[in-house]
Amino acid sequence: MSVPIRCEIFHECETATGVENMAIDEVLLERAISERMGHFRLYQWSAPTITLGYFQDYQPETIPEEMKSLDVVRRLTGGGAILHHHELTYSCSLPSENRWQESPSDLYSEIHQVIRDALARQGFACEFRGVSKSFPAGEPFLCYSRGDERDLVHGSHKVVGSAQRRRKGAILQHGSILIGRSQFAPQFPGVHELGLKGQDLNVSELCEEIVQVMFSLFENCLKTAQLPVALRPSVDALVQDKYRYAGRRFESSKGSRSGL
């Protein structure tokens, strides 16, 4: 049975490095577990970065040649690798006993619907894929080559995808909105190329649209500008002890550095 939860929604779309972004999201997940405080956060990246899915096999040679110069970090959620370049990322962390606990996958659809509506108000139309893709030879390396029924697509092109991780009953969900084509993966057009030819998507307005509608999903929302200062030491510790070791998967501490 779900109970009302508090949820902070960060209305400033901050830009940070890959290791900082992943450390912040882990701290927020731990806060959801320990303090029963949920969070919704939109952010961007200070440099093109590849995030590897938590359970994704990794060897340096698996990185496509055109991406070998980019920063690499492993995120807590599953799925394939994501190239974060001309892209907007969200994270949502919820404590246990939230209303999605019996069917966590419904959270994909509900957040994607918020994003779909926000994009429509910006003049870009997309739809739910509806049918998952299958890959007999194994999953492609990059997430945008994969296909889940809850993805948002424009024609045959994926523009929004998400992945989850559950820890002690809490949920962390990451999602990616492909704003524009990257020169490091030109096979994936974004919103700019697919539906807004000749004009730029206003990312700041899109963020505000998404944040405003997110209030309807949670029972007790608090709007705040940025990450609380009190959480910064925990973020800095994770950056140093865990996330700065590119591509590696850790269970809890730098003592796990050998696990890939």
Q: Mind listing the pLDDT tens digit for each residue in 9-46?
A: 998 899 999 999 999 999 999 999 999 999 999 999 99
Mean pLDDT, residues 229-240 taken together? 94
The H or E element containing residue 177 is strand 170-178
Respond yes or no: is residue 7 known to be catalytic. Answer: no
Non-local (6+) Cβ contacts of 236 within 8 A are 23
Query: In whole angstroms, what is the distance from residue 233 CA to residue 39 CA?
Result: 18
Query: Which of 7, 13, 143, 221 is labelled catalytic?
Result: 143
DSSP of 101-161 = TT-TTHHHHHHHHHHHHHHHHTT---EE--S----TT---SBGGGS--TT-EEETTEEEEE
Which amino acid is present at 97? E
Cβ atoms 260, 58 nearer than 8 A: yes
Task: Examine the pLDDT at 246 and tell me if it is beyond 70.
Answer: no
Nearest to 170 by CA among 27, 22, 13, 52: 27
Instruction: Express each pLDDT in 44-63 by its tens digit.
Output: 999 999 999 988 877 777 78
Task: Examine the pLDDT at 1 and tell me if it is beyond 60.
Answer: no
- Considering the entire predicted model, what is its pTM? 0.88
The structural domains of the chain, ordered by start, are: 6-256 (3.30.930.10)
